[in-house]
């Protein structure tokens, strides 16, 4: 493959209107790199953060952190992939919104035949996030209780199923009765409509006043304080996103006052930075999906050229399940 590929770029930070479709150069892979011809691309909140400037980038820059496709060329030193392999990834640097690209190979994973390209594009960033939330952040075991915000979203529906498969009780929150029903269909033990209920009080009621062992919160500013109030003593708050804005600074002494609580702010890309760890995490995710324990629900599909509308819908929280950009 030579020349260029249709690629979504930004030349300045801003709203969805900043997204532009351009012909972007595609070269040959160097050492440790592969060239991948995409079949579908995933859409994630981190893409909006990068576009807006919340997570600044050197511009101009291509966007997108997740996709699936076929390996088209392999650079020197790459041993785990071959030309013709089906593959999927969640990886830096941004640049997945495109027909083809050259990229580092370490976080690109061979995609099992049982998993479609659309599923592969939709599941990697969100599914690997759920893997580290449940297996790499704090010890969780069957019988524990987790509060999960945005339980009907892309990460949330995977988390609901993952928790059920491991005997973990998941209490979700969502913004409508319809979204709550969807979360419960996917394995949530209960789901609270935060638009109509006092969700902190409801969590306390559902746990007989004890609170939950762990909160998993990708919403950020709007839910952070309430999430702390849902934890039992010695509980763990995992803040892993900023959908409502970045969490304000707070007094660490509050954690002592509320029961010697723990707080962490992890990122997926720290967890998958090591090649072996990334491949192992992906193997667990692929196993969950191939076995049917976790089903990847794709509720929104947009052609690559409609990426700006996809961002608008995502930021307006009008999505459920996964959202992908299609190329064919």
CATH number at residue 68: 3.90.180.10
CB 115 within 8 A of CB 290: yes
In this structure, the answer to whether residues 24 and 94 fall within a common structural domain is yes
Cβ atoms < 10 Å from Cβ of 167: 11
Name the pTM for this structure.
Answer: 0.94
In this structure, the answer to whether residues 187 and 296 fall within a common structural domain is no
Instruction: Examine residue 159 and state whether it is found in any structural domain, yes or no.
Output: yes
CB 171 within 8 A of CB 188: yes
CATH number at residue 189: 3.40.50.720
CB 61 within 8 A of CB 26: no
Instruction: Examine residue 130 and state whether it is found in any structural domain, yes or no.
Output: no
290-304 CB burial, b ≥16 within 10 A, e <16 = eeeebebbbebbbeb
Where in the sequence is the domain holding 281, given as residue range(s)? Answer: 4-125+269-326
Instruction: Examine residue 131 and state whether it is found in any structural domain, yes or no.
Output: no
In this structure, the answer to whether residues 252 and 291 fall within a common structural domain is no
**pLDDT in tens for each of the 328 residues of the chain?**
458 999 999 999 999 999 999 999 999 999 999 999 999 999 998 999 999 998 999 999 999 999 999 999 999 999 999 999 999 999 999 999 999 999 999 999 999 999 999 999 999 999 999 999 999 999 999 999 999 999 999 999 999 999 999 999 999 999 999 999 999 999 999 999 999 999 999 999 999 999 999 999 999 899 999 999 999 999 999 999 888 888 888 899 999 999 999 999 999 999 999 999 999 999 999 999 999 999 999 999 999 999 999 999 999 989 888 999 999 7
Q: Which residues contact 1 (CB under 8 A, 6 or more apart)?
A: 26, 35, 37, 72, 73, 100
Please state the domain count of the chain. Answer: 2
């Amino acid at each position: 493959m030579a020349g260029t590929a249709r690629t979504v770029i930004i030349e300045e930070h801003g709203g969805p209107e900043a997204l532009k479709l351009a012909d972007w150069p595609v070269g040959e892979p160097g050492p440790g790199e592969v060239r991948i011809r995409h079949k579908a691309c995933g859409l994630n909140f981190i893409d909006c953060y990068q576009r807006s400037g919340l997570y600044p980038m050197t511009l101009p820059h291509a966007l997108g952190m997740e996709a699936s496709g076929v390996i088209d060329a392999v650079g020197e030193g790459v041993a785990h992939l071959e030309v013709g392999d089906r593959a999927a990834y969640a990886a830096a640097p941004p640049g997945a919104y495109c027909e083809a690209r050259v990229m580092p190979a370490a976080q690109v994973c061979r995609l099992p035949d049982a998993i479609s390209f659309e599923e592969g594009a939709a599941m990697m960033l969100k599914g690997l996030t759920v893997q580290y939330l449940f297996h790499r952040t704090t010890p969780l075991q069957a019988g524990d209780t987790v509060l999960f915000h945005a339980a009907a979203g892309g990460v949330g529906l995977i988390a609901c199923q993952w928790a059920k498969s491991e005997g973990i009780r998941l209490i979700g929150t969502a913004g409508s009765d319809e979204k709550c029903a969807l979360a419960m269909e996917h394995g949530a033990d209960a789901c609270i409509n935060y638009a109509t209920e006092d969700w902190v009080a409801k969590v306390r009621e559902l746990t007989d006043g004890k609170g939950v062992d762990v909160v998993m919160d990708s919403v950020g500013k709007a839910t952070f304080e309430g999430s702390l109030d849902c934890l039992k003593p010695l509980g763990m708050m995992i803040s892993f996103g900023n959908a409502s804005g970045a969490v304000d600074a707070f007094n660490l002494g509050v954690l002592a006052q509320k029961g010697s609580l723990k707080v962490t702010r992890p990122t997926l890309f720290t967890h998958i930075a090591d090649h072996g760890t990334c491949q192992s995490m992906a193997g667990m995710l692929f196993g969950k999906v191939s076995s049917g324990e976790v089903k990847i629900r794709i509720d929104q599909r947009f052609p690559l050229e409609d990426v700006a509308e996809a961002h608008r819908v995502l930021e307006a929280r009008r999505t459920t399940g996964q959202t992908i950009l299609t190329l064919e």
